[in-house]
């Protein structure tokens, strides 16, 4: 095989390695990324906090109702006990009880509101809990898949590296150096095929003499336009 042919084969391995390294980077990033789970946990914690606050508001409101009822009962007992004989005092007590009971009704309505809020908060917390559980289950599976993909990529890269290593034997040191330099400068593509007299690296038509020289395989010929090593298969 000509040197350009050998370099082209090496480049195919290098591009295959590049693609796997890039994918591996993404696989590792996804393996490490727990941000979606963290977000779901945060949202659940927030919902649980809101539920606790709503439950406290309900207890407070119920406490106020109980306190007020405890305040009304003895007044009513006294009113109906027959011990108060002054009509003026009785009327005052009645008015007092009426106003206390009006306040009680408002407080009882307030308790109903807090109960509805607790119910809504409980529903939200329960939804977020099951959402988090779904995500956790999904994440376990995802990590398993990603780990498997990582193992596959690792072993493929070992095989390609070995293949590449055996391809480099017999390639002149100078040619490998030029290849390495061009690979860095040309986004990984140091060798370009010539098809229809055209460099496939930059799509420029080459002088006939130039690509015929490349085809002859005597020494490396570079594209006059993009400098890539020309390979005529």
Binding site for Zn ion (CB under 5 A): 199, 201-202, 223, 225-226
Could you give phi then psi for residue 203, rounded to 5 degrees? 60, 30
Nearer Cβ to Zn ion, position 65 or 199? Answer: 199
Q: How far apart are CA 133 and CA 46, in angstroms?
A: 16
Cβ distance to Zn ion smaller for residue 110 or 197: 197
For Zn ion, which is the closer residue by CB, 51 or 223? Answer: 223
Cβ of residue 220: shortest distance to Zn ion, in angstroms?
14
Q: Which long-range contacts (CB under 8 A, 24 or more apart) does 205-209 make?
A: 206/230
The nearest distance, CB 229 to Zn ion, in angstroms, is 10
Looking at beta carbons only, is 51 or 229 nearer to Zn ion?
229
- Min dist CB 154 to Zn ion, Å, is 35
Paired tokens of 223: 């594209």
- Report the phi/psi class of residue 227: left, alpha or beta, with left for phi > 0 and alpha for psi in -120 to 50: left
CB of 171 to Zn ion, least distance (A): 21
Phi first, then psi: what are they for 177, rounded to 5°? Answer: -65, -45
Helix axis angle, 87-168 relative to 3-32, nearest 10°?
160
Distance (Å, whole) CA 190 – CA 174: 14
60-80 in b/e form (b: 16+ CB < 10 A) is: ebbebbeebeeeeeeeeeebe
> Are 226 and 202 within 8 A, CB to CB?
yes
* Least distance CB 215 / Zn ion (angstroms): 15
Comparing CB distances to Zn ion, the nearer of 53 and 225 is 225
Sort strands 229-231 and 191-195 into parallel, antiparallel or unpaired: parallel
Q: Which is nearer to Zn ion, 67 or 195 (CB)?
A: 195
Q: How far is the CB of 15 from Zn ion (least distance, A)?
A: 17
Do residues 5 and 173 lie in contact, with contact meaning Cβ atoms separated by under 8 Å? Answer: no
């Amino acid at each position: 095989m000509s040197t350009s042919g050998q370099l082209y084969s090496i480049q195919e391995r290098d591009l295959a390695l590049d693609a796997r390294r890039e994918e591996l980077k993404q696989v590792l990033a996804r393996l490490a990324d727990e941000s979606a789970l963290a977000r779901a946990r945060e949202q659940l914690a927030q919902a649980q906090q809101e539920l606790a606050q709503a439950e406290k508001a309900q207890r407070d409101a119920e406490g106020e109702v109980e306190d007020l009822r405890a305040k009304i009962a003895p007044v009513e007992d006294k009113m109906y006990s027959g011990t108060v004989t002054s009509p003026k005092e009785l009327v005052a007590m009645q008015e007092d009880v009426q106003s206390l009971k009006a306040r009680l009704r408002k407080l009882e309505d307030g308790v109903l509101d807090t109960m509805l809020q607790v119910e809504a908060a409980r529903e939200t917390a329960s939804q977020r809990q099951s959402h988090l559980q779904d995500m956790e289950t999904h994440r376990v599976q995802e990590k398993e898949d990603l780990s498997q993909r990582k193992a596959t990529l690792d072993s493929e890269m070992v095989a390609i590296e070995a293949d590449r290593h055996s391809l480099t034997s017999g390639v002149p040191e100078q040619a490998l150096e030029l290849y390495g330099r061009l690979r860095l400068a040309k986004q990984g593509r140091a060798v370009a095929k010539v098809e229809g007299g055209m460099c496939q690296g930059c799509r420029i038509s080459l002088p006939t003499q130039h690509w015929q020289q490349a085809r002859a395989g005597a020494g490396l010929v570079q594209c006059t336009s993009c400098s890539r090593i020309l390979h005529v298969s």
